[in-house]
Amino acid sequence: MKFAAFIVMIWAGTAVAQTESLVTGVSQDDVQITADFTGSDILVYGAVRRDSPAPASPPLDVIVTLEGPSNVVAVRRKERRLGIWVNGPATEVGDVPSYFATASTGPLEQILLPEEDLRHNIGIDRRVRVTKINADAMDFPKYVQALLRIRAAGGVFSSDPRGVRLAEETLFRADFALPANLVEGDFRVRLFLLRGGKVLDVQEQMIDVRKTGIERQLTLMAHQQPLLYGLLSLLMAGIAGWGASEVFRLLRR
């Protein structure tokens, strides 16, 4: 009898957890980088779909993350040698997002349980801490914190605890301002629906960021025909230098 009651409780709890889910979208699923590209605004929007009336408590929360392609980053520590500060040996941190922004209905430490953050790698700290770091870096947390500070100062890592506007616990939106120095590739949007710090539903959207026009042709040439690209670069540099010298020669007359 107790076992049957336990099964009913589990079923009821599962049913409640599944009564709310996300329906989401993005304002554009592709971003084209051109010569005059100065950045782009991305709108992430959605609604909460319910099978029954929303519970009175705990309150509903939404977290949206926007993540760029990952790469390997070399972090160096400054060392003092002979009275001069120089770069020390590099420690490589792998699988670091080139861009990472978080928007939410409140501070993550207040609306997200630590075990849920550990499970889904939602916050910036958690996302970077799960990356691969050289085994010889005994004090790797310092390297991670330094990396976070550098990326935040450069505007490619950000967190807005009031970046998601939620209306009547049903409709929501989040705005992201992508910088001009984007890395080409697939950007992933992740949306999390929460109650009481627990994740109820997760949705993903993809945004394709690609160079177009002459910028894309030059990028392809640099990767596919590096010798030709190098020769053309030297030729263009020579022409530019010759042109500048001619201009100065005419001005001296």
Residue ranges covered by each domain of the chain? 19-212, 213-248
Which of 6-20, 52-66, 107-121 shows the lowest per-residue confidence on average (mean pLDDT)? 6-20
Radius of gyration from C-alpha coordinates of the chain: 25
Q: What is the pLDDT of residues 196-221, one digit of tens each?
A: 999 999 999 999 998 775 555 555 55
Mean pLDDT of the 116-138 span:
76
pLDDT higher than 70, residue 151: yes
Q: What is the pLDDT of residues 30-67, one digit of tens each?
A: 888 877 778 889 999 999 999 888 887 899 999 999 99
Mean pLDDT score of the chain, rounded to an integer?
81
Preceding amide of 55 cis, omega within 30: no
**Domain boundaries 19-212, corresponding CATH code:** 2.60.40.3880
DSSP characters for 83-126? Answer: TEEEEEEEEEEEEEES-EEEEESS-HHHHS-HHHHHHHT-SHHH
pLDDT higher than 50, residue 1: no
Phi first, then psi: give them for residue 72, nearest 5 degrees.
-95, 135
Roughly what angle, to the nearest 10 degrees, separates helices 214-224 and 226-252?
120
Are residues 31 and 209 in contact, defined by beta-carbon separation less than 8 angstroms? yes
CA distance 249 to 253: 7
Mean pLDDT of the 223-230 span:
67
Percent of the chain beyond pLDDT 70? 82
Mean pLDDT of the 159-176 span:
94
